Amino acid sequence: MNPGLSIAGGNTKSMDSKICEKILNTGEISTDTRTQGAGGTFFALKGENHDAHDHLDAAVAKGAVMLVVSDAGSVPPGYKGEVVVVDDVLRAYQDLAAYHRKKLDPLVIAVTGSVGKTTLKDMIACILSPRFRVCHTKGNLNNMIGLPRTILEADSDTEIMVLEMGMACPGEIERLADIARPDICAITNIGIAHRENFNSDLGILNAKFEITSYLDADGVLVINAGDSAALERLAEAGSLEKGYKVLRVASSGTEVAEQADYIATSPGIRDEDPSITFFEISGPGRQESACFQVPAPGAYAGLSAAMAAAGPQALSLLGGAGLGDLNALREGADLGGLMAGLAAAQEVLGIDAAQLMEDMGKIKDSAEAMTAMAEASGLAPDALLAMINLQLASDELGYDRGVEFSVPHYLLLNLGAFLLLFATSGIAFFASCLFNLSKSYFAAGAGIPIAFLIFQIMAQAGGDLMFFKYLTLNSLFEPSAILSGGAYLPQFAILAALGAALYGAGIVAFKRKDLPL
């Protein structure tokens, strides 16, 4: 080991305030030698298919003055800088971000959901940027590395952080919430993304709701009231337990609109430009409302804007202007500039207008196209990115709700429905056979289908009665498991075997009665 080499600690607990301060004072913090600047600290992250310890030579060559590693033996010979040795480099990176967030002490707004979280995050940042110094997630850097990176990029005069939180497995959002400690949380909706990693849709809901793990009595939770009754119940229970405020946002014309705090009303388009959505947002008590336009089709754009306004306004961040401050969203009103930008992006990508509108994500994937679009339109890159995300969110919402599946999915769904019907009708057939067998079987023959019906009704009532679904057959056929690649073959086998057994028992009963088949 070099005489000048300093080894700090042996596990993540070594990331105390002194080491954190030392790392932050080195300058840029990097996890990728390809984008690493001169100087700073390099974190050697290790993933399933990549280990940055293999690139420490490159990090040192670029001037890293400090290395954070889990393998001290991988440090290049002759390195004169300092080394922090930890058990888990990713955990250390996250702990550093948590320290930086605590030190800056900004107001933190966190957003999650299966669809639309990137759009909502961009809208919130757009609304607040005219009044505050805002640091927000760039693109969709919303995972266990991306969120800490966003926090560590915040400078000392940051007043508000707007952070997007994504997840693939249970516990991930809870960890992100622990790092960020949000003051305002927003949940856009609960879909079937990453269904293969969860036992049920309720598991996805619980994982998204982890965003509130560290929300205290001064906090605010904003939810899409029309999305999930189970989410409503979780929000109410959390509010009672922790004391935070729950704000419900809904679209007009829905069943929950009357109970919502914010309503996105009158979404519509004009014949001359169907790509622009016009809507009105009404605030608490319906005493205040404002009209806006967003460069994306569909009512979902208005709902996102209402959610974007709810949390900040609840904490008086929008000041006396109230909903009027949403005028920041009207950066999209320069339609001439926007069209010029789209034409420039189209030229760079070498595709026609129809292809571009079919997948606006092509622009986001090309730095050259984004630059050309910004220069031609005269609009800020962040504003353009928000517009693109609005379009993509509308497309994704339609996919999530309508589910555009393949022919194999279609056939499997029909097979599952047939097996469910086969097993269910088997119950009715067997019960009718018992009914006709003799007077002593009358009660059983009539009682089985009635009990089955009662169980169905109880399960649909939800809440504490959800367990009754396991006394029905519906829990053996979950379309979401088929669409997300989850397990479904065992359930299919059970339905087939149950149906065959019930029909077989019914036939035996018929023969005992000596009735013609």
Least confident of 255-269, 450-464, 483-497: 450-464
Same domain, 137 and 239: yes
Q: Does the pLDDT of residue 470 top 70, yes or no?
A: no
Higher pLDDT, 237 or 256: 237
Same domain, 227 and 303: yes
CA distance 454 to 448: 10
Instruction: Evaluate whether residue 96 is within a structural domain.
Output: no
Least confident of 22-26, 165-169, 315-319: 315-319
Same domain, 322 and 351: no
Q: What is the pLDDT of residues 81-125, one digit of tens each?
A: 999 999 999 999 999 999 999 999 999 999 998 877 887 888 788
Same domain, 321 and 352: no
Q: Are the CB atoms for 92 and 162 separated by under 8 Å?
A: no
| β-strands 273-282, 289-294 pairing | antiparallel
Same domain, 222 and 201: yes
Helices and strands (DSSP H and E) totals, the chain? 18, 14
CA distance 162 to 124: 7
CA distance 295 to 275: 6
Last residue of a domain, one of 283, 301, 331: 331
Q: Are the CB atoms for 260 and 249 separated by under 8 Å?
A: yes
Q: Does the pLDDT of residue 177 top 70, yes or no?
A: yes
CA distance 455 to 467: 10
Instruction: Evaluate whether residue 145 is within a structural domain.
Output: yes
Same domain, 374 and 326: no
Same domain, 232 and 351: no
Instruction: Report the number of distinct structural domains present in the chain.
Output: 4
CATH code of the domain covering residue 279: 3.40.1190.10
Query: Residue 498 is encoded by which pair of tokens?
Result: 């149950």
Instruction: Evaluate whether residue 95 is within a structural domain.
Output: no
Same domain, 288 and 343: no
Q: Is 105 helix (H, G, I), strand (E, B) or coil?
A: coil
Q: For helices 407-437 and 489-513, give the axis angle rounded to 10 degrees.
A: 30
C-alpha 66, offset from chain centre: 35
Q: What is the pLDDT of residues 389-445, one digit of tens each?
A: 655 544 444 334 333 445 676 788 788 888 888 887 777 777 777 666 555 555 555
Same domain, 387 and 426: no
Higher pLDDT, 33 or 266: 33
The C-alpha torsion from 330 through 278 and 139 to 204, rounded to 10°, is 140
Question: What is the arrangement of strands in the sheet containing 107-112, beginning at the earlier edge strand?
Answer: 134-136, 160-164, 107-112, 184-187, 220-224, 245-251, 262-270, 273-282, 289-294
CA distance 124 to 116: 12
Least confident of 29-33, 137-141, 211-215, 353-357: 353-357
Last residue of a domain, one of 384, 402, 420: 402
- Kindly tell me the sign of the dihedral angle through the C-alpha atoms of 190, 252, 183, 124: positive
Band of pLDDT at residue 367, cut at 50, 70 and 90: confident
Instruction: Evaluate whether residue 307 is within a structural domain.
Output: yes
Instruction: Evaluate whether residue 377 is within a structural domain.
Output: yes
Residues spanned by the domain of 41: 6-90
Instruction: Evaluate whether residue 183 is within a structural domain.
Output: yes
- Give the model's pLDDT for residue 261: 82
Last residue of a domain, one of 90, 114, 147: 90
DSSP tag of 439: G
Same domain, 354 and 379: yes
Residue 159 phi, psi (nearest 5): -100, -35
- Give the model's pLDDT for residue 9: 44
Same domain, 198 and 309: yes
Instruction: Evaluate whether residue 98 is within a structural domain.
Output: no
CA distance 252 to 299: 10
- Element housing 113 (H / E): none
Instruction: Evaluate whether residue 99 is within a structural domain.
Output: no
Same domain, 115 and 193: yes
- Give the model's pLDDT for residue 395: 47
- Give the model's pLDDT for residue 213: 95
CATH code of the domain covering residue 81: 3.40.1390.10
